[in-house]
């Protein structure tokens, strides 16, 4: 594959294949993108291509204005959401969207995922937010672009930081996650799905299960993040 964007395409390809390997997608649904900030472009999965048939050269290169720069195939139908987030959150390097079962179930219930345990607190200190369903006038407009607006509005209204909360549910739709790389966006997608399943099971066992204590939330988050972190090598 001879391309200026060979490395970017390969990063995007590997992340998409990992999304599928982790069981986070159904058939051709779901996508991952990886950004090149220097050239203001990103690589994204082509629309409707089965993962078992996907190859690196199929990956499409798009600029932040949604122009196709390289690639013969149409990009993911969610491309405009990715471009909107890249333009507005300059620190993120990759974005993933899945149709994972438990994450989608919480989104369809239009509910935040409560922080019940330390697996959740290891990654973020807040409930995982669920943005309200999109208004009709936005649905009838530039839908995928407006999904990006929906995400930003949710974070602005709740005072959340996209560098600390790297995941969101879209009411009646499903999850988006992001990170400093495409691989980290996939990682966060798996964390979100696992936490969603754990929270569901917790409420089946005890519908009145209490939220995790703030002292434990603080301890578990700070031992992995921040200047005094001591988890890992």
Residues annotated catalytic, as ranges:
122, 231
**What burial letters (b/e) apply to 8-41, b meaning 16+ CB within 10 Å?**
bbbbbbbbbbbbbebebbeebbbbbbbbbeeeeb
Q: C-alpha distances in angstroms, 162 versus 47, 165, 166, 186?
A: 26, 5, 6, 16
Q: How far apart are CA 81 and CA 75, in angstroms?
A: 12
The residues, any chain, with a CB within 8 Å of residue 88's CB and separated by 6 or more, are: 148, 152
């Amino acid at each position: 594959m001879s391309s200026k964007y060979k490395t970017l395409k390969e990063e995007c390809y590997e992340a998409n294949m990992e999304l599928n390997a982790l069981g986070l997608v159904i058939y051709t649904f779901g996508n991952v993108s990886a950004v090149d900030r220097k050239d203001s472009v990103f690589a994204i999965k082509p629309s409707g291509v089965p993962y078992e048939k996907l190859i690196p050269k199929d990956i499409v290169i798009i600029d932040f204005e949604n122009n196709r720069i390289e690639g013969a195939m149409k990009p993911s139908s969610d491309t405009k959401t990715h471009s909107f987030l890249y333009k507005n959150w300059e620190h993120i390097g990759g974005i993933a969207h899945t149709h994972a079962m438990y994450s989608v179930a919480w989104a369809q219930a239009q509910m935040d995922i409560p922080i019940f345990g330390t697996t959740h607190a290891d990654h973020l200190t807040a409930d995982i937010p669920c943005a309200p369903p999109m208004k009709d006038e936005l649905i009838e407009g530039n839908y995928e672009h407006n999904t990006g607006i929906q995400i930003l509005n949710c974070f602005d209204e709740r005072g959340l930081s996209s560098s600390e909360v790297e995941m969101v549910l879209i009411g009646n739709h499903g999850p988006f996650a992001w990170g400093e790389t495409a691989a980290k966006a996939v990682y966060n997608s798996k964390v979100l799905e696992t936490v969603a399943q754990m929270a569901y099971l917790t409420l089946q066992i005890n519908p009145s299960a209490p939220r995790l204590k703030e002292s434990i939330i603080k301890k578990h988050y700070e031992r992995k993040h921040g200047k005094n972190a001591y988890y890992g090598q």
